[in-house]
């Protein structure tokens, strides 16, 4: 037998198949040779590469039949093919044996006849889940200090490409509702060689978004590219715009990382809305899921209007940016900004203290209707003003929004307030005198500090649906005057247990003069004990006590009776 150093590979990491035999003389010789080298292949610390066509976890940890790996050792290069069970050398007389005089191995994947240990080539056609894998070039050099007892060479392949995903997050107002992208090209260096000067035009892997149609909002286009700056070309359907593509250019992309660019598409230009970068996890190749965009605080209006910020008590606005109609993000000091109709104004921030330092030092929004009183809607998550890059996990314990919408009389909808950790006075008078607000946001926080909801919806004349207050612990003045003078209020939920009603003035006058102009009301409380505690503390005006015009229920939906 001719003993060149040729490699046999085991398909699943950690399995040493020395006891296996087959009908092939090649495999019999290889498996029975105690000096034969066997390999467990992995990507980073997770065994094997991604199999994106598989639907089960086991499949995601396997190679596909026909996959090829190249190995060089002692000056000899050999290609190994996977037959669904084993990795087999191409010759029936050659395989690698352990030799203490040569303990260096160079491996690369995929071995397509063009790639080598030194560089991998980027494929032009990456248009489906299998084709994109052909560009998933990986390599590794292993130099064991000694021959392992199990004769298994553990190879941790390193990705040498970057994964780029373009997410069509929005079309601007220039387009009709049926706006879509026709196709996308991505321009990359032709290989992973740092000195490469040639380029390749990639047809990326598209995945439809919620619209279930390629090219519409939510569609992602993913390609594996060589490290470095990348150019993407977006083509619109004929008749929508000029035939020249809309161009997006990235910064330098690094090997082994995954980049997602959220794009706002106009007829003349593409704007990068957001970009995220993360380690490219082992076991992931295609991507294909649209990145969740931050739920920015967003204003829309029925007609042209503008907004500014007025500061009280010497407060200074900082860390705040705005974008009109999905345009460029700009720093905002609070001066007038115009938007609407058919456009929006988005805000985002990086100040974890919010828009107030105290109930006497704060910032407030002011609307200018240009002579016409336009109704304004506000949506989104208030936490994106604290740290839009990590708003779901940002520390809200020092954030305050006192008087933020105070006297915004044409505000009809309010943003979400999902914070679970609150600062004292955090929402004091936040929506005071918002006379056209109809529905209050839910308030999920459990532990309420002092005066956190004080005067929060004072004088909201058209408020019909009150908040769901999920607090299990009250403090001094937590909800004092919270819903005072809301005559149209028809329902409110308070899930606080009875033993928390003793906090000093926690709910004093919270429903005073509210619900007075409606014929029926619904109050939802935790249980009968909580209702009785509210009554005993004189926290319920007569119109909110059990009667023919007021239904009181527990949190399970059961009617409470006297």
Please give the Cα distance from 343 to 330 (Å, whole number). Answer: 16
pLDDT at 555: 96
Tokens (6 digits) for 135? 């560009």
**What is the C-alpha to C-alpha distance for residues 39 and 399, in angstroms, rounded to an integer?**
54
Q: What is the DSSP letter of 294?
A: P
Residues 6+ apart with CB under 8 A from 229: 249, 250, 251, 252, 253
* Neighbour tally for 253: CB within 10 Å: 20
DSSP letter string, 140-203? EEE--SS--TT-EEEEEEEE-SEEEEEEEEEE-TTS-TT----EEEEEEESBS-TT---EEEEB
How far is 36 from 161, CA to CA, in rounded Å?
Answer: 32
- Give the pLDDT confidence score for residue 240 in this predicted structure: 56
Distance separating alpha carbons of residues 504 and 480, to the nearest angstrom: 10
Token reading at 454: 């004080």
Q: Torsion angle, CA of 55/56/60/61, rounded to 10 degrees?
A: -160
Residue 499 has a pLDDT of 93
Residue 353, number of CB atoms within 10 A of its CB: 13
Count of beta carbons in the 10 Å neighbourhood of residue 60: 18
CB-CB contact of 87 with 80 (8 Å)? yes
Distance in angstroms (rounded) separating the CA atoms of residues 184 and 170: 16
Residue 72's closest CA among 107, 111, 33? Answer: 107
CATH architecture type of domain 161-279: Sandwich (2.60)
This prediction's pTM = 0.64
Q: What share of the chain is helix, strand, coil (3-state, %, to 5)?
A: 5, 35, 60
The residue written with tokens 């408020």 in the block is: 463
Report pLDDT for 4: 43
pLDDT at 471: 98
Beta pairing class for 550-553 and 521-525: parallel
Question: How many whole angstroms separate alpha carbon 11 and alpha carbon 364?
Answer: 63
What integer pLDDT is reported at residue 117 of this predicted model?
Answer: 95
Per-residue pLDDT of the chain (562 residues; tens, 9 = 90+): 444 444 444 333 333 333 333 344 555 576 777 887 776 666 654 334 444 333 333 433 456 778 888 888 888 787 877 777 777 777 656 777 888 888 999 999 999 889 999 999 999 999 998 899 899 999 999 999 999 888 888 878 899 999 999 999 888 766 666 688 999 999 999 999 999 999 999 999 999 987 779 999 889 999 999 999 999 999 988 765 556 888 988 889 999 898 999 898 887 788 787 777 776 655 555 554 444 578 899 998 888 889 999 999 999 999 999 988 877 789 998 899 998 877 789 999 999 999 999 999 999 999 985 555 678 999 999 999 999 989 999 999 999 999 999 999 999 999 999 999 999 999 999 999 999 999 999 999 999 999 999 999 999 999 999 999 999 999 999 999 999 999 999 999 999 999 999 999 999 999 999 999 999 999 999 999 999 999 999 999 999 999 999 999 999 999 999 8
β partners of residue 337:
307
Question: Domain residues of the chain, as ranges?
Answer: 161-279, 294-437
Query: Residue 136, Cα to own-chain centre: how many angstroms?
Result: 24
Tally of CA atoms within 13 A in the half-sphere of 38 that contains its CB: 24
């Amino acid at each position: 037998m001719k003993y060149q150093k040729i490699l046999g590979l085991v398909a699943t990491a950690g399995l040493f198949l020395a006891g296996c035999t087959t009908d092939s003389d090649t495999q019999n010789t290889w498996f029975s040779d105690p000096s034969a080298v066997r390999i467990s292949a992995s990507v980073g610390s997770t065994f094997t590469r991604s199999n994106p066509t598989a639907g089960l976890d086991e499949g995601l940890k396997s190679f596909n039949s026909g996959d090829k790996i190249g190995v060089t050792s002692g000056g000899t290069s050999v290609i190994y093919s996977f037959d669904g069970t084993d990795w087999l050398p191409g010759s029936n007389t050659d395989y690698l044996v352990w030799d203490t005089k040569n303990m260096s191995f160079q491996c690369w994947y995929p071995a397509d006849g063009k790639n080598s240990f030194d560089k991998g080539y980027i494929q032009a056609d990456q248009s489906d889940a299998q084709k994109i894998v052909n560009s998933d070039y990986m390599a590794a050099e292993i130099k064991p200090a000694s021959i392992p007892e199990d004769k298994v060479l553990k190879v941790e392949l390193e990705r040498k490409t970057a994964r780029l995903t373009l997410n069509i997050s929005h079309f601007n107002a220039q387009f009709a509702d049926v706006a879509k992208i026709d196709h996308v090209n991505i321009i990359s260096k032709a290989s992973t060689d740092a000195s490469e000067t040639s380029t390749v035009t990639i047809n990326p892997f598209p995945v439809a978004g919620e619209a279930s149609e390629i090219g519409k909002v939510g569609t992602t286009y993913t390609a594996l590219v060589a490290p470095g700056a990348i150019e993407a070309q977006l083509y619109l359907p004929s008749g929508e715009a000029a035939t020249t593509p809309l161009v997006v250019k990235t910064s330098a992309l690094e090997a082994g990382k995954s980049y997602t660019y959220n794009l706002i598409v106009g007829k003349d230009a593409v704007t990068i809305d957001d970009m995220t970068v993360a380690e490219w996890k082992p076991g992931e190749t295609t991507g294909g899921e649209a990145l969740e965009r931050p739920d920015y605080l967003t204003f829309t209006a029925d007609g042209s209007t503008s907004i500014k910020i007025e500061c009280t008590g010497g407060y200074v606005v900082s860390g705040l940016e705005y974008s009109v109609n999905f345009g460029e993000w700009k720093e905002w000091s609070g001066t007038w900004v115009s938007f609407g109709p058919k456009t929006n104004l988005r805000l985002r921030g990086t100040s974890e203290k919010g828009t107030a330092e105290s109930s006497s030092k704060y910032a407030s929004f002011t609307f200018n209707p240009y002579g016409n009183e336009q109704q304004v809607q506000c949506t989104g998550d208030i936490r994106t003003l604290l740290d839009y890059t990590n708003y779901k996990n940002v520390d809200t314990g020092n954030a305050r929004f006192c008087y933020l919408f105070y006297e915004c009389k044409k505000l009809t909808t309010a943003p979400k307030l999902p914070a679970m950790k609150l600062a004292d006075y955090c929402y004091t008078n936040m929506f005071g005198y918002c006379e056209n607000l109809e529905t209050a946001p839910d308030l999920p926080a459990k532990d309420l500090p002092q005066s956190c909801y004080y005067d929060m919806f004072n004088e909201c004349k058209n408020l019909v649906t009150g908040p769901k207050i999920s607090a299990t612990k009250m403090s001094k003045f937590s909800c004092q005057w919270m819903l005072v003078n809301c005559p149209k209020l028809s329902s409110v939920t308070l899930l606080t247990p009875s033993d928390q009603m003793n906090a000093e003035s926690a709910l004093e006058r919270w429903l005073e003069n509210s619900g007075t102009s409606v014929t029926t009301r619904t109050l939802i409380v935790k249980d009968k004990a909580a209702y009785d505690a509210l009554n005993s503390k004189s926290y319920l005006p007569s119109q909110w006590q059990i009667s023919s015009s007021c239904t009181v229920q527990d949190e399970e939906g059961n009617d409470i009776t006297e």
